[in-house]
Structure formats: C-alpha cells, structure tokens
C-alpha cells in the first residue's frame, strides 16, 4: 500500500484537471449566489428542472444504490464473504448522498430554507417523501460509516454501540432506499401529459427501483475494479460473477416490465418515429439493457473480471441516459423549448463530482476502508450462511 502513495504536492495530470474544475466551479458558484438562478442557469418557467435535478439528483441517488444493496446482502442475508467491499461501497453511498444534498443547495431557489421540510409537512407530496428519505438515509449511512472513523480514532466503545444497532440501521436503510429510489420515479407520475410516452408510465416507481438496484450491482463491480487498480484489492471472481448473475436477472425483469408496459399503453406504434426521443430511447435501451443482458448471458464474459467491468460500464451509462432522458429529453416536447445546461450548471456539477472523487481518494488513503477487508470475514464462518441458504456459488 504505502509504496503507491505519492507526494501530495506533486502536480499530476488529474490534479491539474481537478484544480481547473475547482476554479471554474468557484466562479460559477459566485455567479449563482450573487446573481440568481436566471443568470447562472438555462432554466426557465417552461423548463424549471434541468441538469442539477436530472443528473445530480436522479443519477446521484441511483449510483449510490450499491450501499443498500450490499448492506442487505451482508447483514440481512449473512453473506459475509461480500464484506471486503462493504466499506468502500458504504463510503461511496455516503459521499453520493452528501453530493446530492450539495447539488440541491445550488438548485433550490432559497436553499437556506431547506429545513422547512421538517416543520411544514405535506404527505401528499412525493418530493416531501424523497426529502425525508434522503435526510434519514444520509443519517443512516453516516452511522453505518461511523465505525470506520471510530476505528481510526481508536474509540472502541462507540464502535460497539453502533455495532449493536447495525441490524435495525440496515433494515431502516433498505426501507428508506427502496422508498426514495422508486419515489424519484413517482415524481413524474403527476405529469402524464408532459413526460414523453417512452418514459411516462404508471409503473415508473417500480422501473426506477429496479434500474437503481441493477445499477447498484454495476457500481459494486465497477468499484471493485477501481479499488483493484488503485490499491490492489478486489473481490474474488466468484463474488463478482454472483453479482453479475443478480444483475442479469434484474435487467431481464426490467425489460419484461418495460415490454409489458409498452404493450399496455400502445407505445409500440411510435417507437420508430423519426424524433430525437426515439434515438435517445433506443440508445438507452441498447446500452443500458440489451447489450448488458446479452453479454451477461455469455458465460465466458460473466466469468471474466474484465468482461464484467465492461458490462458494469455499459449498465451505468445506460442508467445515466435513462435518468437524463426522463428529466430532460422526455420533458422537452411538452415544454415547447429546447434546454441545454449552461456552462455554469455543468461546471458546478463537475465540481461536485470531482470533489466527491477527491474526498473518496483521501478517505481510502487515511481511513481503514480496504485494510480491514479480511478481518471480519475470517472471524465468522463465511460459508455457513451459504450452506444454510443453499446459495450455490459458481461451479468451482
């Protein structure tokens, strides 16, 4: 490990990029808060939700879905052999949610009133529910993450307290996650005449949840690969292949639901119209569902580290396309205007993402994120749960 750490003051290519992103981000932030949303964004009364909602909120929350997926696997199903990647996944999820909240502070017209949601309740509002879930789930993630910090500080007692609470915490986390992952889709239920028929559906909450779950799996594979490249730790191939299988099943169920939904609403007649929506929809379907399903069905790819990595990248890209299609492409026709984010919207988004990466790399360097890997899985018998569940791993 130690050998890989470079001097923090050496200017590398990526550090240069980070500094440029930060400088632009600071300029954009100053303009955003001194001149208002009109001067800094391309949003309008016809197009009030743009990149910050479409990418930072919808994609950000989705990409953090690995957190609850893996916590369930490890704690509820007792599949302890997934423990090695639990910590990096929880960290990613936690940072992801913090980033979402930061993005919201830019997007809200009066962010200093964000706490109003705590005192003025409207249980009819999907956004109210999303807000509360994000608030509570970020707290849950902070608590799930806290043992790592306690361990680093050498505080044993608080670590034990959290450990005794972990099951209720994980259960709360799963419930909150399923609720708001699906509710991000429910936000659009109330706009049947606005969202283009490729994406509007009365089952959009279920579609959002399933795609978030699939992308949660993809993120676990992706993170395992990144952590290998950076730190030399990764999941064993059989674990990765298992995640690949779960992802395949999820994507197939998603595809079936989508086909059923299209048939039910008679969308088939418009799927080849020469419109921008059509191209972007097919791109999304191809990259996010069709190609990954085909690749995962091929045994050789499913059993190779590199193959799974490419599948994960495909699925993640398709997922991003889907969320941006819902938030931007699908809303354009009914709004009557064309929306493309301003450089300031893009640069603030980049700043938030880049800072997230930066904090992640700092955390992995100084906190016991990866070192811990073997410890707990060895202390308990990892195979036991599997025997009991009779979950067969890949043929060895």
Partner 1 sequence: MSNPKALLFDATKCIGCKACFYACKESNKLPQKEKEEEELTNTAYTVVKEKDGVYYRRLCMHCNVPTCASVCPVKAFEKTESGPVIYHDKRCMGCRYCIQACPFGVPTYEWESTKPLVKKCTMCEERQKEGKITACSEACPTGATIFGDRNELLMEARKRIQENPGQYVDHIYGEKEAGGTSVLFLSSVPFEKLGFPTNLIEEPLSDLTWKIMSKIPNYVVVSGVFLYGIYWIINRRMEVTELKNKSKDKE
Q: Which residues make up the interface to partner 1 (CB under 8 A)? A: 33-39, 43-46, 48-49, 72, 75-78, 107-111, 113-114, 116-117, 120-129, 131, 167, 171, 174-175, 178-179, 186-187, 189-194, 202, 205, 381, 384-385, 387-389
Nearest to partner 1 of 33, 152 (CB atom) = 33
Q: How far is the CB of 217 from partner 1 (least distance, A)?
A: 19
Nearest to partner 1 of 28, 289 (CB atom) = 28
355-359: Cβ within 8 A, 24+ apart: 355/22, 355/99, 356/95, 356/96, 356/98, 356/99, 358/18, 359/95
Nearest to partner 1 of 189, 253 (CB atom) = 189
Nearest to partner 1 of 273, 388 (CB atom) = 388
User: Could you tell me if 44 and 341 are in contact, meaning their C-beta atoms sit under 8 angstroms apart?
Assistant: no
Helices (H), 187-236: 204-231
DSSP string, 76-138: IS--GGGGGGHHHHHHHHHHHHHHHHHHHHHHSSSGGGTTHHHHS--TT-HHHHHHHHHHHHH
Q: How far is the CB of 82 from partner 1 (least distance, A)?
A: 14
Contacts (Cβ under 8 Å, ≥6 apart) of 138: 94, 97, 98, 101
Q: How far is the CB of 115 from partner 1 (least distance, A)?
A: 9
Q: How far is the CB of 354 from partner 1 (least distance, A)?
A: 25
User: Could you tell me if 205 and 185 are in contact, meaning their C-beta atoms sit under 8 angstroms apart?
Assistant: yes
Q: How far is the CB of 283 from partner 1 (least distance, A)?
A: 25
What would you measure as the largest C-alpha separation in the chain, in angstroms?
64
Nearest to partner 1 of 121, 340 (CB atom) = 121
Tell me how crowded residue 197 is: count the other CB atoms within 10 A of its CB: 17
Nearest to partner 1 of 97, 188 (CB atom) = 188
Q: How far is the CB of 75 from partner 1 (least distance, A)?
A: 7
Query: What's the rounded Cα separation, in Å, for the pair 97 and 323?
Result: 17
């Amino acid at each position: 490990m130690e050998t890989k750490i470079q001097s923090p003051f050496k200017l590398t290519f990526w550090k240069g990029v980070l500094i440029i992103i930060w400088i632009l981000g600071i300029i954009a932030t100053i303009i955003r808060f001194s001149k208002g949303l009109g001067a800094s964004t391309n949003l309008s009364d016809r197009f009030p939700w743009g990149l910050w909602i479409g990418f930072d909120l919808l994609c950000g929350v989705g990409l953090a879905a690995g957190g609850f997926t893996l916590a369930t696997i490890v704690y509820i199903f007792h599949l302890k052999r997934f423990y090695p990647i639990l910590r990096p996944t929880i960290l990613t999820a936690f940072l992801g949610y913090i980033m979402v909240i930061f993005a919201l502070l830019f997007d809200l017209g009066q962010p200093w009133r964000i706490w109003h949601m705590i005192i003025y309740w409207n249980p009819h509002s999907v956004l109210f529910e999303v807000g509360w879930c994000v608030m509570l789930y970020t707290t849950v993630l902070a608590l799930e993450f806290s043992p790592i910090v306690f361990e680093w500080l050498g505080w044993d007692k608080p670590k034990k307290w959290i450990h005794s609470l972990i099951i209720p915490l994980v259960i709360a986390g799963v419930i909150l996650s399923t609720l708001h992952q699906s509710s991000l889709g429910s936000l659009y239920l109330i706009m049947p005449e606005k969202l283009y028929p490729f994406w509007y559906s009365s089952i959009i909450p279920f579609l959002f949840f399933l795609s978030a779950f699939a992308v949660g799996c993809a993120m676990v594979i992706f993170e395992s690969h990144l952590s290998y490249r950076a730190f030399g730790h990764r999941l064993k191939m059989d674990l990765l292949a298992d995640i690949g299988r779960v992802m395949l099943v999820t994507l197939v169920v998603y595809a079936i639901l989508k086909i059923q939904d299209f048939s039910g609403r008679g969308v088939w007649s418009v799927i080849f119209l020469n419109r921008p929506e059509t191209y972007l929809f097919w791109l999304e379907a191809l990259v996010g569902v069709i190609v990954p399903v085909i690749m995962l069905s091929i045994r050789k790819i499913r059993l190779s580290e590199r193959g799974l990595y490419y599948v994960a990248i495909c699925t993640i890209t398709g997922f991003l396309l889907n969320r941006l299609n819902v938030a931007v492409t699908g809303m354009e026709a009914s709004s009557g205007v064309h929306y493309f984010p301003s450089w300031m919207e893009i640069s603030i988004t980049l700043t938030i993402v880049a800072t997230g990466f930066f904090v992640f790399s700092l955390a992995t360097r100084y906190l016991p994120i990866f070192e811990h890997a073997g410890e707990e899985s060895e202390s308990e018998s990892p195979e036991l749960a599997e025997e009991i569940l009779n979950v067969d791993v890949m043929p060895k």
